[in-house]
Structure 1
Amino acid sequence: GSGAALATVATLAVLGLVLPTFTTSAPGPEYTASQLVFAAVVSIVLYGLFVFTQTVRHRDFFLPITEAGPVTEETHADPPSGKTALLSLGMLMVALVGVVGLAKVESPAIKAGVDAAGFPASSVGVAIALLVLLPESIAAIRAARRERIQTSINLGYGSAMASIGLTIPAIAIASFFMDGPLLLGLGPTQIVLLGLTLVVSVLTVVPGRATRLQGGVHLALLAAYLFLAINP
C-alpha cells in the first residue's frame, strides 16, 4: 500500500505544484482556466480512487502487521460499519474545523513574529502549514514509536494526499469568484527539493525496509526546506 500511496502523492504534487511552472499557455507559474479545471478533476478523481482502494477494494494492503503476522490477501479484513464510518467522518470534520480555525486565529501572531524576525513573507505560509499538519504528524510519530509503521505511513501519505488532492479542486472553484492570478507553481529551489524528496522516498519505500540512515536523510531534506524557506 505504501508504494501506491507514494505514487499518488507524487502524481498530485507534480500535477498541482510543478507543471504550472512549465506550462506556456499562461504567463508565470499558473494554469489557464481549462488547465486548472483539468488538474482539479484529475486530483479529486485520484484522491477518490485512492480512498476507495484503501478502504474498500484493497484495504488489507494498508493494515499493519499484527501479532499473528501480516494480513494476507486470503485473510480479508472486515470493513468498518456504517455507524463507525459516519462517526469517524463527523469527528474528522470537527477536528478539521478546529485546526483550520486555530491556524486562522494564530496567523496574525505568526505574521507579526515573522516580520519581527525579518524572515520572508512566504515563511508565514510554511508556519501555518506546519500548524495545520501538526495533529497528523504527532499521530504518525506515535504510531511509529509503537512499531505500527504502516499506520504511520498511512497517516503521512494520507495527509499529504488530502492537502494537495482536495486543495487544488477547492482553490479551482474559489478562483472563479476571486480576482487576481493564482500562482500554483513552485520555484526552482522547491522543485529541486521536491524531486530529491520523491527519489529518496522511492528508495525508502520500494525495498520494504528502512534504516536510521534513510530516516536521517528525510530529516535533512526537511531541515533544508525549512532553512531555505526563511533564508532563500
Structure 2
Amino acid sequence: MTVRTASRRIHWSVVVPPAAAVVLVFTWQRSLSGVMTGVVCFFLITAVLAAVHHAEVVAERIGQPYGALVLAVAVTVIEVALIVTMMVDGGEKASALARDTVFAAVMITCNGIVGLSLLLVALRRGEAFFSAEGTGTQLATVTTLAGLSLVLPKFTTSEPGPVFATAQLAFAALASIALYGMFVATQTVRHREKFLPVTPGGEVIDDLDDPAHRPSKGTAWLGLGLLLLALVCVVGLAKGVSPAIEDGLDAAGLPRSAVGAAIALLVLLPESIAAVREAGRDRVQTSLNLAYGSAIASIGLTIPTVAIASIWLAGPLKLGLGSSQLVLLTMTVLVGTLTVTHGRATLQQGGVHLALFAAYLVLAVMP
C-alpha cells in the first residue's frame, strides 16, 4: 500500500493525511481568506478520498461487517466532536444543531446512500440482493433510536418546546447507548452471518474465508492510523470552512437547519463514497451496513454525548423534529420496511429512496 515495487514511489493516500494535518495546524482558529478557503477545501476533499482508501484497506484485513463498523464509528465519533465544538462556539443559536445534523445523517444514509446503492446495482444486475434479517435489524434499530431521541421530544409536556426534561434526556441517552452496544454485539459476534454480503442464490460471502487477498497486519495498522488522521483532518478542516459555509447560507437566505445538512454531507462523504464502491462490486449488504450502521452510530453516540454536554451548554437542547421532518422520517421508515422485507430490491425502490432524499434537500433549504 505504501510503496510501489517498480518505482518505489509513496502512495498518494499516505502523503495526504499528514499534509492535511499540517494545513489544519496552520489554519486552526484563524480567519481564512478566499484563497486559503480554496486550499482548505482542496485538502478537505483529498482527505476524504484518503479516508475511504484506508478504510477499504482495514476492511479487507478484518473482513465484513467489521470494516463497515470501523468506518462508521470513526466518522461518527469525530462528527460528535465537531457538533459539540460548534454548539459551544455557537451558543443558544446552535441549540438545534445536534438535532438537525443527526436528522440529516439519517436522511443521507437511509435514503441517499441506500437509494444510490440499490439503484447502481439494479441498473447493472436487474435486482439487488441482501440479507433481509440483518438489514431489517438495522432499520428497526434506526427507527427506535430516532423515535426515542427525535420524535418524542416533540410531544412531551414536561418542558415547553421540543425539549426533553433532564430525566427524560438521561433516559434517551442511556437507551441510545444501550441499543447501540447491543447492535454492535449482534452485528459482530452473535449473528455476524446476517450482515455479510449474499449472492442471488442466497449464499453468504465471507471475506475471512479468503485470507490470500488480505493486506498484512502491518499494512492494516498503518491504514487504521492514517484513516483516523484523515478523519480528524476532515472534521477539523470542515470546521475551518464552516464560517464560510454559514456566511454563504445566510447570504442566500437559507435557514439554520441547512447548516446541519451541510455538516452531515461533509462528514458522511467518506462513507458515501465507500458505499458506492461496494455497490459497484455487487456487495449490496456492505453498502447497507455502511448506511444503516452510520445512522445507528450517529444517533447512538451523538445523543448521549450532547446530553452530557448540555450541562455546560447555554440554552435548551432542542431535539424534537418539526412537522415536515416528522413526515419525512415516517415515510423513510415505511419505505425502508417495504424495501428490506424480501431481501431484494429493484430500480424502483432505489428511485423511491432517492426521491425522499431529494425531498429532504429541498425542504432543508425551503422549509
Q: TM-score, normalised by structure 2?
A: 0.58
Counterparts of 1:61-80 in structure 2 under 5 Å? 61-65=194-198, 70-71=203-204
Amino acid at match of 2:295: A
Question: Number of residue pairs matched?
Answer: 226
Residue of structure 1 in register with 2:110 after alignment: none
Q: CA deviation at 1:67?
A: 10
Alignment of 1:1-232 (within 5 A): 1-65=134-198, 70-71=203-204, 87=221, 93-232=228-367
User: Compared with structure 1, are the counterparts of its residues 229 and 159 closer, same or farther at alpha carbon in structure 2 (3 Å cutoff)?
Assistant: same
Query: Between Structure 1 and Structure 2, whose CA radius of gyration is higher?
Result: 2
In structure 1, list runs of 5 or more residues that go unmatched.
none
Q: Take 1:191 and 1:89, find their aligned partners in 2: how far apart are those partners? A: 37
State the distance in 1 between where 2:263 and 2:149 align.
19
CA change 1:10–1:90 in 2 (3 A) is: farther
Cα RMSD of the aligned pairs, angstroms, is 2.4
Structure 1 counterpart of 2:247, which letter? A
Letter in 1 for 2:139: L
Among the aligned pairs, what percent are the same residue?
Answer: 66
Compared with structure 1, are the counterparts of its residues 89 and 17 closer, same or farther at alpha carbon in structure 2 (3 Å cutoff)? farther
The Cα shift of 1:198 comes to: 0.5
Distance 1:213 1:183 in 2: 36
Aligned to 2:39: none
Structure 1 stretch 157-166 or stretch 118-127: which is displaced more?
118-127
Per-residue CA shift, 1:7-42, capped at 9, x if unaligned?
A: 001111111111100011111001011111100000
Counterpart residue number, 2:83 = none
Alignment partners' CA distance in 1, 2:328 and 2:310: 28
Larger mean Cα displacement after TM superposition, 114-123 or 170-179: 114-123
1:140 aligned partner, one-letter code: A
Return closer, same or farther for 1:163/1:34 CA change in 2, 3 Å cut-off. Answer: same
The letter of the residue matching 2:279 is: A
For the residues of structure 2 that align with 1:148 and 1:202, how far apart are their CA atoms?
20
- TM superposition shift of 1:95: 4.2
Specify the code of the residue in structure 1 equivalent to 2:259. V
Measured in 2, the distance between the counterparts of 1:26 and 1:53 equals 36
Counterpart for residue 78 of structure 2: none
Distance 1:67 1:204 in 2: 16
- Deviation at residue 193 of structure 1 after TM alignment: 0.4
The structural deviation recorded for 1:146 is 1.2
